[in-house]
Amino acid sequence: MAVTEYQERVYALLCQIPRGKVSSYAALSKALSSSPRAVGGALRRNPYAPEVPCHRIICADGSVGGFKGDAQDAPSKINQVEKLRLLKGEGVLFDEKLNLVDGNSWWDGFDTEENQMKKPWK
């Protein structure tokens, strides 16, 4: 599958999110001067998962959001369980309403200049 330049930029920023941290579609789109929907589109097509950790992107309100192409308002249970399992394995926990438990898990320290085009997955 061909990956666009925009997708490459999204994936490079995703790789900056440390294990045990999450960020939001909004924070990623702000770092890219883009939109949350465009970020979601790139994540939906991520051919490098889980090495390029799209599971670390959640909604700005702290809810778990979608995964593997599912919309945040209609995620499949199987995909959502997988996303929660990946995040739990990194120490990121959600409550029974699927909201982030620990606010210390947030990451927004994107380096948009120097590291944006590094491609550690290649």
Active site residues: 54
Contact 114, 42 (CB under 8 A): no
> Is the four-CA dihedral 85, 1, 69, 92 of positive or negative sign?
positive
Whole-angstrom CA distances from 16 to 11, 73, 74, 99 are: 9, 27, 28, 23
